[in-house]
A and B are shown apart, each in its own frame.
Chain A
Amino acid sequence: MTETVIGHRTARIDGELKLTGKADYAADHNLPNQVYGYPVPSTIACGKLLGLDLDEARQAPGVIDIVHRGNFPQLQPSDNNPACGAAARLYRSPSTMGEENKVGEVRLPFEDDGIHYEGQYIAMVIADTFEHARAAARLVKARYEVHEAVPGLFYTDDEGEEAGDEAVSRGDPAGAFDAAPVKLDQTYTIAMETHVAMEMHASIAHWEGDRLTIYESTQGVVFQRNALAQIFGIPPEKVTVIAHYIGSGFGSKLFMWPHAVITAVAAQRVGRPVKTVLSRQQNFCNAGNRPASRQHMRIAADRDGKLLSIRHDSYNETSFVDEYTESIGSGTPRVYACDNVSVSQRRVKVNHGTPTSMRAPGEVSGSFALESAMDELAIALDMDPLELRRRNFADRDPSADLPWSGNHLRECWDDASRRFGWDQRNPQVGSMRDGHEIIGWGMADATWEAMRSHCSARVELRADGRVQVACGTQDIGTGTYTIVAQTASELTGVPLERIEVKLGDSMLPAGPLSGGSMATATVMPAVAGATRKAIERLKQLAVAEGAPFAGKEADALEFENGALSDGSQTLSFAELLDKLQRGMAEGEASAAPGEEKDKFSFRSFGAHFVEVRWDPGISRLRVARVVSTIDIGRAINPLTARNQVEGAIVMGMGMGLFEATEYDPAGNIYNNNYADYIVPVHADIPDIEVELLDSPDYNFNEFGARGVGEIGITGMAAAIANAVYHATGKRIRDMPIKIADLMEP
């Protein structure tokens, strides 16, 4: 029997390439004759661009061209604007998920003379070197008409616009609330956050005739290909998007941003490849963010803690140039059993760059309010917060009237609380002390929907004894290369060293976005299907006339450990192909979710237990310990899976304690760099003890895997805030927690 690789801790197969610098990230590519683009950002938040003074920049050393509104192809045919050169016209991407052409910002670069946020591109300088381009970009002078900005959600009373499709209602939440004996009515906020992925956004665009090739740090080569095809009005086959390695994205690289379009147009204008690497500052303004949010939470329970009503009304920021909806309440109707629930979502336009998905978008924000409110309710009921959750466990998905495919939340509670020692908790606020420090213990649930998309893959069993797997998805650092290899290895019995995985190229069979924690569950079935087809093809070749197994039934042959056998004769696929003088036996397959989603509700659950330490004498707050148990179905690669959960927990600490992208009253960004945007560093990261339940979800796919990238961040901010309350008696409803909030007056 083939040795199993799935379910085993497997080091990343691309680890060595990364450690030795051989992994080619987008900005590592240099094409012959390449020149460099450097965008010029707006320095005001709101107003009108009256004009650009380009003379000085044009005369700067090395400058080749400057693209801007005056010479950039527009939505209208521009026969009357010969300055526009080759692409006389651009189109808008429909920007839909369904058509897989969603973009980060639907407004085309330079589309109007409005300035909608600070950092919005007003021009891009093209020069022979990066340094020349940057120096010249700083010589571009802009004249603005400055308007008063809406500097952010917390600066405005605007109620915004309702996102109707987010609204959910069941039962009579208002009536049940009014009649309930125990209730809570509170507002929670979360500051804007920025993804700050290590690798900067970058595009290298290159035209050969009407064919566009673009290297991009993207979480979706297929989406970007489709979007570019739409924008340039060319068939998707003429666009190639390449992203072999990505230095993470956390959502900011799911959908294409304007710099890629400007770079592609610039490459067309100058007739040479153009490379644009955004600066860290530009990454903060022009490549998405988790929008600031405000949540009005009203929940009520009976005296035994049974939830009677939940109303969760949320607001998120969006920009003036796109409509971004954060589905903040999307988990609320599902997590706990409650008959009377309503959820709503509103968008408020502010002068910030367009928000986008950021790790566990929506639910992580919603879980902060819901899990904080549960803690507050437990205190109002004088009940242990874990016990309150137990009393509201949902046996079925209460929002869909479907059974769970697998809800192991109770085991998560049992396991994590035991390992944490929760039964030692003294519920009295401030009662647990150690020297100068007050210890606080808090907990919260984690949850994330299990999603799956469609995917194609191609597998080649090659005459040299190697197996090549190709799929047009990409590995953003999470370990997709490894999981694809594990799948092929499991089914062929060929060791990982002889499996070669090709990802990150839109010319490969179309694969999914690396987002929504769905890559593993989406890609594995397609890779398995393609592997089986390749094996099938090998068998057909083996039994053909004149072949080694001629005359046998293909079905009677066994394929094991990379070899075909009929019981008497065994030949490795390499030997067989060699005898047949064939280069390969190949298979291609597609897989998509089927009717299982009408039968079950798929969702992952988990629980975080957190210890904080508050030293009131010096106002020092630290997270001292995190114990989490998470059910993700089957962990295909427990090594990288745990890595995802730990990383997400650290990011959740960021949301709870540090991260805030701040805009001042003028609408100008304040902390657009790694020094001023505070994220946890190693010294902040305590022992994180993660346990992954091994409970395969075979209803979801044949491998039993659900996603793992996002669930770990959900609930973390609440678990911290709940622990902080336990230590200090201060309920902080605005994330991140600042020490000033906790200091005694």
Chain B
Amino acid sequence: MRHFAYQRAGDVAEATALHGSDRSADFIAGGTNLIDMVKLDIMRPERLVDVNRLPLTAIESLDDGRLRIGALVTNTDLAYDERIQADYPVLSEALLSGASTQLRNVATTAGNVMQRTRCPYFRNPSRPCNKREPGSGCGALDGINRNHAVLGVSDKCIAVHPSDMCVAMAALGATVTVEGPSGVREIPFEEYHLLPGDTPEREHALSDGELITHVTLDAPITGAKGHYLKLRDRASFEFALASCAAVVTMDGDTVREARIALGGVATKPWRSFEAEAALSGQPASEATFKQAAEAALAGAVAHRDTAFKIPLAKQAIVRALTTVTAQ
């Protein structure tokens, strides 16, 4: 066994102090992603700081109408929270489409935000991977890449960000609160995850030693309806081939405002401002939805096996919008 130190923190200050800016230390929450990667030999932490005792398990309604989710709220608790189901159904649906009941029971909000790609080249230490080992190359570019991204790709990395939850959060608008040696910071959700570009090893805006304490959802948009549609080969327990989170408010038959985010096709939870612009003020018709879908995928780049994902993502958008506007 590769030995590692295990430390349990009681509060946020202790957690960040224990972690320090030590790169060989990692926080552990539910462990469903971290332990997996340790077993695969692609993560070799020398120190684990257990954050499960931190008092970050509450979901709080803020005075400004926002909803503040503690980092340790489990995916199950979040999905079934009454405020989430009433005001942010898209998030509940997204959570429940992910993983399995057992996993959701222990998976945490921050852990989900931080989960890493399922790219098999990333997850196998004997394969080249620029994300895991900068400069080693990308196995997926010329390999099998049916599950890979078509949006936000670079010539260094085409790995998909796998989260469903984050796609709904991207559509809803949110802020990630982090705390570390240099204090507390607030990071807008769409700036939190980074595109691979030339540095696919940099995945998020967190600095060394910083801890996510909360994710705060923007106040619900009055009158908005939401829907999350996840497309995959089998009916359950599989990551998305393409997914769409749609949040729409209507003026009669016209779309007043729409939020569209995509999963399964992009290197980060993908908010599509292009699709939103194509919808806003337009009649809620199939033609409009198709235009929005075209706009969302205009910049898509296909590799060997991913061409089908471009029409599939468009279908996800059109159907999600059809469903949400019929509610």
Contacts and interface: CB of A to CB of B under 8 A. Distances in A.
Interface in A622-661: 622, 657-658
Interface stretch (B14-22, B78-86, B228-236, B246-254): B228-236
A279 to B, nearest CB: 9
B213 to A, nearest CB: 30
B308 A739 contact: yes
A85 B54 CA distance: 56
Interface string A648-683: 000000000110001011101011000110101111
A619 B234 contact: no
A671 B127 CA distance: 13
B308 A664 contact: no
Interface in A283-321: none
B235 A681 contact: yes
Interface stretch (B177-185, B203-211, B274-282, B315-323): B315-323
A743 B311 contact: yes
Given A138-B41, A743-B308, A743-B312, A658 B236 contact: no
Given A135-B1, A668-B127, A670-B143, A618 B319 contact: yes
Interface string B49-64: 0000000000000000
Contacts of A676: 118, 120, 147
B71 to A, nearest CB: 25
Interface string B222-243: 0000000101011111100100
A658 B233 contact: yes
B120 A671 contact: yes
A684 interface: yes
A739 B233 contact: yes
A619 B231 contact: yes
A617 interface: yes
A132 interface: yes
A484 to B, nearest CB: 36
Could you say which of B2, B236, B316, B318 has the most chain A C-beta atoms within 10 Å of its C-beta? B2
B41 A684 contact: no
Contact of B235 (A61, A132, A665, A683): A683
A628 B127 CA distance: 44
B315 A619 contact: yes
Contacts of B238: 678
Given A619-B315, A678-B234, A132 B1 contact: yes
A657 B233 contact: yes
A622 B2 contact: no
Nearest to B100: A681
A187 interface: no
A61 B3 CA distance: 10
A620 B231 contact: yes
Nearest to B143: A664
A131 B38 CA distance: 12
Size category of the A interface is 20 to 34
Could you say which of B231, B235, B237, B311 has the most chain A C-beta atoms within 10 Å of its C-beta? B235
A664 B1 contact: no
B327 interface: no
Interface string A714-745: 00000000000000000000000011100100
A129 interface: yes
A53 to B, nearest CB: 15
Contacts of A138: 41
B308 A675 contact: no
Contact of A135 (B2, B127, B233, B308): B2
A738 B143 CA distance: 18
A572 interface: no
Contacts of B315: 617-619
Q: From DSSP, what is the main secondary structure of chain B's interface residues?
A: loop
Given A129-B1, A138-B41, A664-B139, A617 B233 contact: no
Interface string A134-160: 110010000000000000000000000
A618 B118 contact: no
A43 interface: yes
Given A131-B1, A135-B1, A675-B118, A664 B235 contact: no
Interface string A413-456: 00000000000000000000000000000000000000000000
Contacts of B41: 138
Contacts of A619: 231, 311-312, 315
B118 A684 contact: no
Interface in B121-139: 126-127, 139
Contacts of A622: 235
Interface in A341-361: none
Interface in B38-53: 41
Contacts of A681: 234-237
A619 B241 CA distance: 11
Contacts of B35: none
B144 interface: yes
A692 B118 CA distance: 43
Contacts of A129: 1
B300 to A, nearest CB: 15
A4 B234 CA distance: 43
Interface string A604-627: 000000000000011110100000
Nearest to B127: A668
A662 B144 contact: yes
A617 B143 contact: no
A664 B234 contact: no
A134 B39 CA distance: 10
Contacts of A683: 234-237
B235 A618 contact: no
A61 B142 CA distance: 39
Could you say which of A664, A675, A738 has the most chain B C-beta atoms within 10 Å of its C-beta? A664
Contacts of A665: 142-143
Interface string A53-83: 0000000010000000000000000000000
Contact of A43 (B1, B2, B126, B235): B126
A666 B233 CA distance: 25
Contacts of B234: 657-658, 678, 680-681, 683-684
Contact of B316 (A618, A666, A670): A618
B143 A684 contact: no
Could you say which of B143, B231, B233 has the most chain A C-beta atoms within 10 Å of its C-beta? B233
B143 A618 contact: no
A418 B312 CA distance: 37
Contacts of B139: 664, 668
Contact of A617 (B118, B144, B241, B318): B318
A121 to B, nearest CB: 15
A618 B144 contact: no
A129 B3 CA distance: 13
A740 B235 contact: no
B319 A678 contact: no
B277 to A, nearest CB: 24
A651 to B, nearest CB: 14
A723 to B, nearest CB: 17
A657 B234 CA distance: 9
Contacts of B143: 664-666, 668, 670
A587 to B, nearest CB: 50
Contacts of A618: 229, 231, 315-316, 319
Contact of B312 (A662, A675, A678, A739): A739
Given A658-B233, A676-B120, 15 more contacts: A43-B126, A135-B1, A618-B229, A657-B234, A668-B139, A670-B120, A671-B120, A678-B234, A678-B238, A681-B234, A681-B236, A682-B236, A683-B236, A738-B233, A739-B308
22 contacts: A134-B1, A618-B229, A618-B231, A618-B315, A618-B319, A619-B231, A658-B233, A662-B144, A665-B143, A676-B147, A678-B234, A683-B235, A683-B236, A683-B237, A684-B234, A684-B235, A738-B233, A738-B308, A739-B233, A739-B308, A740-B308, A743-B312
For the complex of A and B, list the 8 residue pairs with the smallest distance between their C-beta atoms, beginning with the closest. A131-B1, A740-B308, A683-B235, A43-B126, A683-B236, A664-B143, A670-B144, A684-B235
Interface of A: 43, 61, 129, 131-132, 134-135, 138, 617-620, 622, 657-658, 662, 664-666, 668, 670-671, 675-676, 678, 680-684, 738-740, 743
